[in-house]
Amino acid sequence: MIMKDTKEIAKSTRSHRKLHRIFGSALVAFFFIIAITGLLLGWKKHSGGLILPKTEKGTSTDLKIWLSYDSLNTLAIQALQHSFPENRSARIDRIDARPDKGIVKFVFKDHFTEIQLDGSTGKVLAVNQRTSDIIEQIHDGSILDFLFDTSDGQIKLIYTTLLGGGLLLLSFTGFWLWYNPKRIRKQKEGVSSVS
């Protein structure tokens, strides 16, 4: 009975090892990309502005004297056109207001440009490349949705499902590859102590 159990555990271990090897080999490059981009994202605020642009300071934190978002939007688009005469798209992705810093950041949808304006004067404080956004999109697979202009993040959904599922499977099979030899060893020790 014990020998039969040992053989079944060994067979199960071989199956787990095969699955582990197949999925590990297929996904290793993606896991490498996720690890590198994850490290970079973790360090983005401590990169001295290389990954995430430094947030400038405006002249006032008093929202009552800030310009309207409409006026700031117009100024941001003018700054974009002045900084990039090759006519970059002016479609806004998001507006990030930082009242405690006195600034408003405009981030564009079709490229990774950020324009920081003083909230009260509208003065252009910085025009930057948002490398952190590129890294984040590589990290979660949405860079392909960006490049192919998909409507609803379908590629990101497939990418995260495959890689998340793959990581769960590797964790599951890895556990059994670690635990099954211990079970076999215990059974063998049990047999030798009985005889």
HEC states along 149-181? CCCCCHHHHHHHHHHHHHHHHHHHHHHHHHHHH
If asked whether residues 60 and 38 sit together in one domain, one would say no
Instruction: Report pLDDT for 6.
Output: 86
Residue 135 belongs to a domain: no
The CATH number covering residue 58 comes to 3.10.450
Give the residue numbers spanning the domain of 153. Answer: 2-43+140-194
Instruction: Report pLDDT for 184.
Output: 87
Instruction: Report pLDDT for 195.
Output: 59
Instruction: Report pLDDT for 4.
Output: 54
If asked whether residues 27 and 61 sit together in one domain, one would say no
Residue 73 belongs to a domain: yes
Instruction: Report pLDDT for 5.
Output: 84
If asked whether residues 80 and 124 sit together in one domain, one would say yes
Residue 66 belongs to a domain: yes
Residue 14 belongs to a domain: yes
Residue 134 belongs to a domain: no
If asked whether residues 97 and 73 sit together in one domain, one would say yes
Query: Tokens 């006195």, residue?
Result: 102
Q: How many domains does one find in the chain?
A: 2
If asked whether residues 67 and 33 sit together in one domain, one would say no
Q: Has residue 149 got a pLDDT over 70? A: yes
**pLDDT tens digits for 98-125?**
999 999 999 999 999 999 999 999 999 9
Mean of the per-residue pLDDT values of the chain: 93
**pLDDT tens digits for 5-36?**
888 989 999 999 999 999 999 999 999 999 99
Buried/exposed 116-131: b ≥16 CB within 10 Å, e otherwise: bbbbbbbebbbbbebb
If asked whether residues 108 and 162 sit together in one domain, one would say no
If asked whether residues 157 and 186 sit together in one domain, one would say yes
Q: Has residue 141 got a pLDDT over 60? A: yes
Instruction: Report pLDDT for 87.
Output: 86
- Residue 140 — very low, low, confident or very high, per pLDDT cuts 50/70/90? very high
The whole model's pTM is what? 0.84
If asked whether residues 27 and 72 sit together in one domain, one would say no
If asked whether residues 25 and 58 sit together in one domain, one would say no
